[in-house]
Amino acid sequence: MAKVEKLADLIAKAREALSEDQLAEAIASGQFEEIFALPQKSFEILRDTSDPGLVLRWAQFADVRIDSVVKMELHKYASPKTVGDRETLEKILALEDSLTIQALMQKGVDEREVLLGLPTSQTKWILTELSSTEIVWVLSYLLELPSSSQGRLIDFVFRDRGLISLLQETEGLQSQFVAVLNLAGEFDEINSILVELRRRRQNAEKYQKEHAEIDLILAEMATAEVKKLSLLVYVASEVLDAEQLADMVESGQLKEILALSQNTYEILRETGSPAVVLAWVELAGEAIDLVVETKLYKHAAPSDFDSTGTLARILALGNPVAVERLMNLDAVAREALLQLPTPKAVWTLTELRMKDLVWVASYLSEFPVHTVGLLADTVMRDDVFISTLQDSESLQEQFPTVLALAAASEAFSRVLERTAVREVAKLTALVVAAQESMTPEQMIAAIETGQFERILALPERAFEILRDNGEPAVILAWNDLAGDAIDKVVATELYNRSAPSDFDSTETLLKVLAIGDGQAIGKIMDLTMDERAEILNLPKDLTKAVLETLSGHELSSLASRLMPLGLEDKAKEADRTVMDQAQPTVTPAPPVAEPGLEPEQAPDFPILYLFLAVVSLTALYFFWKYYRRRR
């Protein structure tokens, strides 16, 4: 009966963990039968891992301890390969707590080896009593110690857990404590020292008159302050000789500096001067920590500042790289960059190449304070704009106008934000063109109504229309009429001779633009709309010939004659007019007396008339050939 129940239990767990195919394979391979022969508790491994092979490996590895493996849920966090050997398995199972074992197996191989090398009670204490941060630090510290000192350290911090934080926070003390552990046979000696320090603190008043100055300071310290004193003395000993150190103590500088935050000791380490530390404190006051955090003390001296205002603006950067690069610039450049809002100043100082930073700082120095942030905004969107500015002196001169407009108009500021950086030069050209022909009020109105942004979308050459007439509606009307041909409207200066309303359609405009010649376009635009239509509706070559041959008055007369005619007759009449206009008029020259004749003698007129007749017939012959070709 017990075997039936055991088999039923195995089948239930197998079905829970395996697919039908996997179960069939386990039965066919004999693994199912092998698992059935194991203690029933081991079936839990199959249910939790879905791996019949792993169940068998655990059984072979753990042997009689398989029940303990399952009970402690070790199979959930490890495999026999992860555990390694039976000795290690026994140490793990000795922890006798599933959560503790889980915490152990989540550590790295080296960390597990260190923990399992300790007495079981110490291992359990570390894994169950310390915070995760403390565990990480303790393990990293243990890995630096020889195995003979590892148990001593844990034994000591077990009795005085505050030592963990004390060692954590002071790297120098850690190295000193390693040496102590390596040399000490027992932790009781170290503990007795700390007990004595605590006793001195508690009895400070009693020993006030009997102790030396250092002892009095030490007596007034909490345990954390002992760390501060140790660090300060260590730093001072590094950078000062014996005479300087004695002077520091006797003058009271040691006590003054000890009262400061521990960060300020870095200033002493860097400068080797207690006086400089105190000078920084006098200048910065409560901001002394920022002097250290930004490493300003490495790049400047307190005497470099004529006011706390400048210091405050530098410290507000809060970024050591930004501060270092700022202090490497000259005073004018620094002042220009400090005009920027802090986040923009930090970006500029940390993201730009040094040569670009120097150039930007120089450029900013010429800007009014209220516009410098807008320049930074543009550069921050794409720092390629710096090279765009550098490559164009005209853009450098004109761009401040754009920023001034953005500062004055929130609507234009939004336009600037929406404009791609690669289009900023084009936007600048539009602003300059508008300012040459529009009042500030008209510009703001155009911006707020959206006309300005519509014009910005046009080809840059089209801005000439706005520059010449100052009417946004006109350039937009030209664009609506001309479309892609607006460049030709500008190139032919047609916009100076006419208005969009002079054209009944885009087709008519394109016919005018196709003429190409400015003088000819001027002639045709002097006609009425109906007269212009008559001329433009002629064949293209004939239109060109008419415009080249006839005067404005003659064009008007021709257009009037064409109006009542049919299409074919219109071309004939225009052609005839061109021919008639092109035929030369021969005027006889006044008689000239020939040499040897008397003045009253006239020349031989029949011969002269014959000559003129020949010339006229020759001309008529060539015009007749021209006419035939045209027909």
The fraction of the chain above a pLDDT of 70, given in percent, is: 82
| Residue 610, pLDDT score | 56
CA distance 513 to 509: 6
Q: Where are the beta strands (DSSP E) in 325-429?
A: none
Measured distance CA(147)–CA(119) in Å, rounded: 12
Pairwise pLDDT comparison (368 vs 229), residue with the higher score: 368
Cβ atoms < 10 Å from Cβ of 99: 12
- Asked whether residue 315 carries a pLDDT value surpassing 70, the answer given is yes
Q: What is the pLDDT of residues 463-521, one digit of tens each?
A: 999 998 889 999 999 999 989 899 998 988 888 888 998 888 898 889 888 887 778 88
The per-residue pLDDT for range 519-534, each reduced to its tens digit, is: 888 888 888 888 888 7
Using alpha carbons, select from 215, 214, 226, 225 the residue that is nearest to residue 190: 226
The whole-angstrom separation of Cα 376 and Cα 340 is 8
For the stretch 4-44, pLDDT in tens is 888 898 889 888 888 888 889 989 999 988 988 888 888 88
Question: Would you tell me how many other CB atoms lie within 10 Å of the CB of residue 584?
Answer: 9
Amino acid identity of 12? Answer: A
Tokens 């940390």 correspond to what residue? 350
**Which pLDDT belongs to residue 584?**
57
Pairwise CA distance, residues 391 & 295, whole Å: 36
Determine the Cα–Cα distance for residues 604 and 590; give it in Å rounded to an integer.
Answer: 13
pTM of the model: 0.49
Is residue 201 within 8 A of residue 222, CB to CB? The reply is: yes
DSSP 434-486: HHHHS-HHHHHHHHHTTHHHHHHTS-GGGHHHHHHH--HHHHHHHHHHHGGGH
Angle of CA points 358, 363, 368, to nearest 5°: 135
Q: How far apart are CA 13 and CA 4, in angstroms?
A: 14
- Most confident listed range (179-183, 370-374, 395-399, 474-478): 474-478
Higher pLDDT, 630 or 437: 437
The ranges assigned to domains in the chain are: 1-106, 503-582, 601-631
